[in-house]
Structure 1
Amino acid sequence: MPRSSFSGMISGPKVDVIIDLGNPLLNHTVDGFLKIGTVAATRAAAEDAYHVVKKGSISTHDAEHTLKKMCKEGAYWGTVAGVYVGAEYGLERVRGTRDWKNAMIGGAVTGALVSAATNKGRDKVVVDAITGGAIATAVEFINYLT
């Protein structure tokens, strides 16, 4: 049976905003917050734009709702990303090495902190810590493969 393969590379735009707060940990944390927060806000805007196009009109209420949603989503996901990036960078500095274990522990810490902030109970905090660690580790392994 004939076989074919595809080889290629996808790359996105490189955006670097440099904010020097005088501390590398703070620099990484704020960078993660800004980048992921911007992505989340853009996603919220695109989702609401779809609904406006589907509806066929926009009102002042719709515009205000979209702006509030963009701010809320951007702040939430930016905070989660900032906590993760800060935890992973801090672990890298403390352990003196950059590996998948930093991602796993950083993801677990982030999952636990975000879950604890929502007051869903101890079992939910543990499950979210395991989920955060698993997702971060999987992403690290996928990045290693590519």
Structure 2
Amino acid sequence: MSKRKALMPDVFKRRKRVHVGAPVRPAPSSPQWGSDSEEHISAAAPSDTKAAMMYLCSLFPKQTYEGRIPPIIMKHQLYSVVKNKTLVDRQLNDLRNAHEVKMMKLGNEVDEYCLVFTEDYKNHITAFYGQELSKTVALRPRQENC
């Protein structure tokens, strides 16, 4: 029996010793986890995908297009910045449901999408069409629901 224990690989053994003692508690002056101030800060912080989109929008060459199109981001560009594709897809769906991002399909490829912030899109449309947009009844509901 003792030979079997000796033959057990190191993978199953503990690497660090567990110290038994009094639990470490935070100081009374430090904020507790989950306090209101931390929840407020985490709610105001953008998600990884939104932060990556803002970064890619800042790299968009606006001078080249002379204001003819809003800053456009390709979905595969987000995949190159944020390594977790599942996280990107989930956060993009959340942003779409919150009407913060517009996603448009390009071409016949399965994952060929371009992304535009809704505010940038609305500002571009109103700047381009001006008063004609308010006269068009068919575009008004689509602009609000997109």
> Would the TM-score normalized by the shorter structure come out above 0.5?
no
Identify, as 1 or 2, the structure richer in helix.
1
Q: Which structure's residues are more often strand, by fraction?
A: 2
TM-score, normalised to structure 2, is 0.30
What TM-score do you get using the length of structure 1 for normalisation?
0.30
Rg larger for: 2
